[in-house]
């Protein structure tokens, strides 16, 4: 949310609600811990994520290597920290790209209507009939395997959700009296759209971003798992699970367990936060969580 300089009564009541919701506070703190660990961790932890130590191949979790090592003797904690940075960072890029693209197209479709609206709606309907992973695969095929291609594919798949929501909201708000009166004063279309309508959409956009972040991170990891996302030796949680798969079933459980658990915890926390935030900020709206 945008910071409010002099605290309005609404902001005060919101703050109280946030304080009273223990689950939300717990989830937010959990995510904050993960975020700090992921951003600062790789610098603090004394092992390098790609330092090969053949003497310590596949060693189980110990004091020296809290999460164990992989088949090349690389420290798993260092790799999980860096891998989470890659996964969550790329997820953030997908969410931001989707939000920007979706806001622009949504504003255009909602404000202009007519042919622009029909064409954009048709285009987004067409995009949405591909499963997200299929679309990402097609982009990987057209470009080359790697995180950039996957991020592009997932961003293309995520923007229609924003567009739909924003288009509807713009149409709803544009019909209200304060917009008509602003128009009567002589404000330009652009000014009305960006100064008067857009601020009302910020919370909608933020909520939608929170709702799709988890799905984006999971899809990214899935693409990494299929060998189409991050390429070795880049540490990425999904790709790490693939690398550990062959050892996992023969007893080296830590190679797959830890990257997966980090994914599980991070995505579950964001899902809970998105849920609670929606109930707080927008009790009437139901947001669709993309696959």
| Binding map of other proteins across residues 41-80, x = CB under 8 A, - = no contact | ----------------------------------------
Q: How far is the CB of 186 from other proteins (least distance, A)?
A: 38
Among 133, 154, 166, 197, binds other proteins (CB under 8 A): 133
Local structure of 69: helix, strand or coil: strand
Helix axes 198-225, 254-281, angle to 10 degrees: 160
Site for other proteins contains 82 (CB under 8 A): no
Site for other proteins contains 226 (CB under 8 A): yes
Cβ atoms 47, 66 nearer than 8 A: no
Q: How far is the CB of 208 from other proteins (least distance, A)?
A: 16
Site for other proteins contains 84 (CB under 8 A): no
Q: How far is the CB of 27 from other proteins (least distance, A)?
A: 9
Q: How far is the CB of 261 from other proteins (least distance, A)?
A: 9
CA R_g for the chain: 22
Tell me the H-state helices in the chain: 9-20, 22-44, 76-112, 114-128, 132-142, 147-174, 177-185, 189-191, 198-225, 237-248, 254-281
Cβ atoms 273, 206 nearer than 8 A: no
Q: Which residue lies nearer to other proteins by CB, 13 or 245?
A: 245
Site for other proteins contains 247 (CB under 8 A): no
Local structure of 75: helix, strand or coil: strand
Site for other proteins contains 287 (CB under 8 A): no
Quick one: tokens of 129? 């009939």
Judged by CB under 8 A, the chain residues 157 through 186 that form the site for other proteins are: none
From 76, 39, 79, 40, select the one nearest 59 (Cα to Cα): 76
- Pick the piece of the chain touching other proteins (CB under 8 A) from 30-38, 104-112, 163-171, 252-260: 252-260
Site for other proteins contains 257 (CB under 8 A): yes
Q: How far is the CB of 120 from other proteins (least distance, A)?
A: 11
Site for other proteins contains 269 (CB under 8 A): yes
Among 47, 159, 225, 254, binds other proteins (CB under 8 A): 225
Give me the residues paired with residue 69 across strands.
Answer: 75
Site for other proteins contains 268 (CB under 8 A): yes
Buried b (16+ CB within 10 A) or exposed e, 103-140: bebbbbbbbeeeeebeebbeebeebbeeebbebbbebb
Site for other proteins contains 267 (CB under 8 A): yes
Tell me the H-state helices in 45-131: 76-112, 114-128
For other proteins (CB under 8 A), the number of binding residues is 52
Buried b (16+ CB within 10 A) or exposed e, 35-69: eebbeebbeebebebeeeeeebebbebeeebebbb
Residues that bind other proteins (CB under 8 A): 122-123, 125-127, 129-135, 137-144, 214, 218, 221-222, 225-228, 238, 241, 245, 248-249, 253, 256-257, 259-260, 263-272, 275, 286, 289, 291
């Amino acid at each position: 949310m945008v910071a409010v300089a002099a605290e309005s009564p609404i902001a005060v009541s919101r703050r109280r609600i946030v304080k009273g919701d223990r689950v939300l506070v717990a989830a937010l703190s959990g995510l904050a811990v993960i975020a700090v660990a992921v951003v600062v961790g790789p610098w603090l932890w004394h092992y390098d994520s790609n330092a090969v130590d053949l003497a310590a191949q596949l060693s189980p979790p110990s004091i020296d290597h809290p999460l164990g090592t992989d088949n090349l003797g690389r420290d798993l904690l260092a790799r999980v920290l860096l891998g989470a940075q890659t996964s969550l960072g790329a997820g953030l890029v997908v969410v931001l790209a989707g939000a920007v693209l979706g806001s622009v197209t949504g504003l255009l479709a909602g404000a202009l209507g007519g042919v622009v609206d029909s064409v954009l709606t048709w285009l987004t309907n067409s995009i949405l009939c591909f499963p997200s992973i299929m679309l990402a695969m097609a982009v990987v095929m057209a470009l080359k395997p790697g995180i950039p291609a996957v991020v592009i594919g997932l961003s293309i798949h995520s923007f229609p959700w924003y567009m739909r929501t924003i288009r509807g909201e713009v149409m709803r708000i544009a019909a209200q009296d304060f917009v008509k009166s602003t128009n009567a004063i002589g404000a330009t279309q652009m000014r009305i759209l960006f100064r008067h309508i857009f601020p009302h959409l910020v919370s909608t956009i933020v909520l939608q971003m929170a709702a799709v972040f988890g799905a984006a991170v999971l899809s990214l990891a899935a693409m990494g798992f299929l060998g189409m996302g991050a390429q070795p030796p880049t540490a990425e949680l999904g790709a790490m699970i693939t690398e550990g798969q062959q050892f996992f079933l023969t007893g080296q459980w830590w190679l797959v367990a830890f990257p997966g658990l980090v994914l599980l915890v991070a995505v579950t926390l964001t899902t809970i936060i998105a849920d609670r935030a929606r109930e707080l900020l927008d009790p009437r709206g139901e947001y669709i969580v993309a696959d």
